[in-house]
A = this chain, B = another copy of it.
Amino acid sequence: MSRFAIAVHGGAGTILKSSMTSVLESQYLKGLEDALKSGYEILKKGGSSIDAVEAATISLENFPMFNSGKGSVFNHEGKHEMDASIMEGQFLDAGAISGVSGIKNPIALARLVMEKTEHVYLSGEGAINFAKKIGVKIEEEDYFFNEFRYQQWLDIKDSGAVKLDHSDKKFGTVGAVALDINGNLAAATSTGGMTNKQFGRVGDSSIIGAGTYANNKTCAISCTGHGELFIRSVVAYDISCLMEYKGLSLKEACDIVVHDKLVKIGGEGGLIAIDALGKIELPFNSEGMYRGFIDTQGILKCEIYK
């Protein structure tokens, strides 16, 4: 029997139906759906989960309403600094980048780090130099310009405040997890960070074990939430360990980590998860999470609120 499935997210946080229009809502859902389909097409043809999560994440990065790639928020210097990571569950190979500017698809660069270098994690100017060296096209700043994001930044740039995303508590991250017909799991996460962020702050999105993890024995995970708390809780790997060492199901492990451990430490957010049988969980402890999946039956579902 061959099964395959995919899930994506576009960030978690305070997403209230009362502050959403039906037009906006359908645009967000379309963004999720397009990403799911781009990954699912690959899986359906027998392609790999790593190709599928990369394609889905690229689709989300190119969609201007999620905080990653084209839709990235402005940092304190009025620039875009992006983080991303990717991992595959067969050999535990992984790639990650942080603090890169001018990269259209940070997730593709993370994958190049995984496949074209002996390293896992490249950061800042060095990561950009690596991108240039291997011929990745560097985009001009105006590719990332977005009037809405710019206004968000202008509103707070002199206040010293740091916004997570466009509401006070919206964690702008995208990600994908998938299982392919060969039983291989993969996970990908990408973010534009926090509006007005300073000091080269790095969240969980580029940290293997915290924001991203995949292991064929257990699960593939991509997180979105208050990055600092997710790092301290090593969230993605924690779920894998609860399954591997304690024998919990994916759902039981997700419940403990998202609804108990993270809540106790004040870690707001959520994650998307898939296990080796293609079972999908999309837990979050915030008001909402942009999320969707196509399961092993081929059923597509996208949601925003609780």
Shortest CB-to-CB span from A152 to chain B, Å, is 19
Instruction: Report how far A199 CA is from B227 CA in the complex, Å.
Output: 24
Query: Which of B122, B241, B265 is in CB contact (< 8 Å) with A201?
Result: B122
Complex alpha-carbon distance, A99 and B237, angstroms? 25
Main secondary structure of the interface of A (DSSP, over half): mixed
Query: Cα distance A234–B87 when bound, in Å?
Result: 13
Partner of A198, one of B124, B126, B201, B265: B126
Q: Count of chain A residues with Cβ under 8 Å from any Cβ of B?
A: 44
Bound-complex Cα distance A233 to B202 (A): 20
Residues of B contacting A265 with CB < 8 Å? 92
> Is A231 an interface position by the 8 A CB rule?
yes
Say if the beta carbon of A298 comes within 8 Å of chain B: no
Partner of A231, one of B203, B209, B233: B209
CA distance A241 to B237 in the complex (A): 9
Give residues 179-232 of A contacting B (CB, 8 Å). 198-203, 207-210, 213, 227-228, 231-232
A121 within 8 A of B: yes
Contact among B94, B122, B198, B202 for A199, CB-based, below 8 A: B122
